[in-house]
Structure 1
């Protein structure tokens, strides 16, 4: 049997090393090997770059992130800089964007300490100034007071009254002039209902979410509101932000507002998603809404809270996700009582069915298979009246489908948005 001098372990390690660090650095390292450190390089190439980096359990991009976090935590700044450069300039399949690198440093700050993060940002910015033009990234002056919080966005209120509290998240991508999506929440909720969906949509869109009057941090005028008033609130929000025409995504009450807005102000709505909603209630149900107003006026929101949660979430979800349901319950009972009653009147008197044919914007109607508050039949009515509207029924979803089935909800929206281009 002949002896094969080809060292497979070493060669596999070198391939990984070149993919992660780049040919130039590896060639320079090999060229600088001496009789003193060659055995060490051989060991590291076999052990770290083959034995570890060849393991299939994690993607190589994930291993990059781990190395960056550990070298920053330990203050191994020469190694850290090496891997920052490699992460930004390396193989496209394992590369990190500057924003992804920033997230690594911010998360490491929490677990390894702010001093390490301070130094890490200093080293990373030095490299970004040097190689930024190569990767299309430019460090620019920015105001600390205007820095946005991912997961919450930049928050503000409208100048016009009643003041509406809103959050704006800019698109993460670099597409020129991205379109804006407005997210409109359900009765007894607030803009935080959309947090997960909003972060998902910012991959390609600017995203605005807001609190309806009477909810969250928006003004709560003492009155019984109409759906027309809520739609005019939406119109002045879009006008004030100068972001129209927008893609409107509304759930329950938010879907009712979207219908009215698209009818009254067609130039402001380029596409419409109506989820878990209705275009009108039968007289018996309208009477139930008026009774709810009287009950809340006499006894407060707490007395209806459990019944509302039973309609918002099906039994299986309530049992498996008690913490999430409890958070929505807390939001409901802390809603301004006058504002809640005002919006109950708007919801209970919604009446757009006979006008839906006026909507010319592309529309998607989403229903929850188990929805008691807005049964599938109501969504079918909406879809049948809006020309060309699509209908998607999400299995195992009740009224707050975006919370119970977030992946299915996001997929339905993503497919619809893709059909618009």
Structure 2
């Protein structure tokens, strides 16, 4: 199994982060902790890099082989669908997943990567050199390939030095054989491309080529960034990823408005403060964006369950809000009464008595209309 590190709540939406060739999951050190406030972040190491065993792949490996290892890791963690972001070779893995396993992806972010890596020859030559000479000579040029002049991250350079030559060469084989240009139009998942404007390995034109071919894709170019943008410009990468990943919050906010009504949501948003902002985001992203959008139950059924739970715990202010929501979700006054009568049996008569009083007030207000008559 690939070596990995997890951060963030286990119940949060999962986000897998893929590394660049020659690095470990430390590439994401400046970004992953911030992303983990709203996601279950899983960072993984390439074979022979960081803590991953070298024998997970061999000579002649493909990006598809690496993608299979990532899916096996997700399966072992009980993760069915996930957002994915990857750098360079890690980005190529994301593209492969989007083309060949779209049912597993919620969204895709491809950073400093390409749908092809300038042909087979340079990668075959690099693989042969590494198998013959080891990593040291290649490490000498790491800063020039990865960062702009005068910038370095010693931990990542050390990762490069310690990578297993055979596994590194096998990853070079994978890059040599990779070319998905003729399949980019098939990608249907929401996609973000991030380019470093000073990236010599995968310049912005490579990311623009993907953005132009993938329907609806967005492209962000980061000034001052070279090939390892998450390490060199973490704030810019974090901003781009947060904007991209908040699809669940947007979807949740739309459902929240449909169920609770614009007036209620507008009041809640108006009362929002920096102290409560993360809680409001949690409600929109998780309760409304994940649970209420699950098609297993209808909204009518969810309303009935919610009414029962609120009565059971005595949350009668919330109950009034969800009686209105139940009406929007198609329940009649008689059906709401039947639900509350059921709660009298299983939650107790006093709780049901208070619930009937709350529901009667709300239904009377609805019948009277906004003008009271």
Q: Scaled by the length of structure 2, what TM-score is found?
A: 0.64
Q: Which has the larger radius of gyration?
A: 1
Which residue is 2:240 aligned to?
412
- Does the Cα contact within 8 Å between 1:238 and 1:268 map onto a contact in 2? no
Decide which of 250, 258, 266 is 2:102's aligned counterpart: 266
Aligned equivalents of 2:245, 2:79: Cα separation in 1: 17
Give CA-to-partner distance per residue, 1:103-162, whole Å, 9 cap, x none. xxxxxxxxxxxxxxxxxxxxxxxxxxxxxxxxxxxxxxxxxxxxxxxxxxxxxxxxxxxx
Aligned equivalents of 1:419, 1:316: Cα separation in 2: 37
Aligned equivalents of 1:199, 1:327: Cα separation in 2: 17
3-state DSSP of counterpart to 2:163 = coil
Which residue is 1:70 aligned to?
none
Structure 1 residue 352, shift from structure 2 partner: 1.0
Which residue is 2:163 aligned to?
335
Structure 1 residue 262, shift from structure 2 partner: 1.4
- Does the Cα contact within 8 Å between 1:276 and 1:367 map onto a contact in 2? yes
- Asked if residue 167 in structure 1 is aligned to residue 167 in structure 2, the reply is no
- Does the Cα contact within 8 Å between 1:214 and 1:339 map onto a contact in 2? yes
Instruction: Say which is worse superposed, 400-409 or 411-420, in terms of deviation.
Output: 411-420
- Asked if residue 296 in structure 1 is aligned to residue 124 in structure 2, the reply is no
- Does the Cα contact within 8 Å between 2:18 and 2:91 map onto a contact in 1? yes
Structure 1 residue 306, shift from structure 2 partner: 1.9
Structure 1 residue 208, shift from structure 2 partner: 0.5
Aligned equivalents of 1:399, 1:293: Cα separation in 2: 20
Which residue is 2:27 aligned to?
193
Structure 1 residue 197, shift from structure 2 partner: 1.3
3-state DSSP of counterpart to 1:196 = coil
| Higher RCO (CA < 8 A, seq sep 6+) | 2
- Does the Cα contact within 8 Å between 1:235 and 1:265 map onto a contact in 2? no
Structure 1 residue 170, shift from structure 2 partner: 2.6
Aligned equivalents of 1:313, 1:170: Cα separation in 2: 29
Which residue is 1:362 aligned to?
190
Structure 1 residue 309, shift from structure 2 partner: 2.1
Structure 1 residue 342, shift from structure 2 partner: 0.6
Structure 1 residue 349, shift from structure 2 partner: 1.9
- Residues 255-404 of structure 1 aligned to structure 2 (within 5 Å): 255-283=91-119, 286-318=120-152, 324=153, 326-404=154-232
Structure 1 residue 244, shift from structure 2 partner: 2.4
5+ residue gaps, structure 2: 251-373
5+ residue gaps, structure 1: 1-162, 319-323
- Residues 31-50 of structure 1 aligned to structure 2 (within 5 Å): none
Give CA-to-partner distance per residue, 1:2-56, whole Å, 9 cap, x none. xxxxxxxxxxxxxxxxxxxxxxxxxxxxxxxxxxxxxxxxxxxxxxxxxxxxxxx
3-state DSSP of counterpart to 2:29 = helix
Count of matched residue pairs: 247
Structure 1 residue 329, shift from structure 2 partner: 1.6
Q: Scaled by the length of structure 1, what TM-score is found?
A: 0.57
Structure 1 residue 230, shift from structure 2 partner: 0.7
- Residues 95-114 of structure 1 aligned to structure 2 (within 5 Å): none
- Residues 72-221 of structure 1 aligned to structure 2 (within 5 Å): 163-171=1-9, 177-221=11-55
3-state DSSP of counterpart to 1:199 = helix
Q: Give the CA RMSD over aligned residues.
A: 1.4
Instruction: Say which is worse superposed, 367-376 or 287-296, in terms of deviation.
Output: 287-296
Aligned equivalents of 1:400, 1:280: Cα separation in 2: 18
Structure 1 residue 419, shift from structure 2 partner: 4.2
Which residue is 2:356 aligned to?
none
Give CA-to-partner distance per residue, 1:185-208, whole Å, 9 cap, x none. 000111121122110011111111
- Does the Cα contact within 8 Å between 2:15 and 2:42 map onto a contact in 1? yes
Aligned equivalents of 2:165, 2:20: Cα separation in 1: 15
Instruction: Say which is worse superposed, 299-308 or 383-392, in terms of deviation.
Output: 299-308
Decide which of 43, 49, 60 is 1:224's aligned counterpart: 60
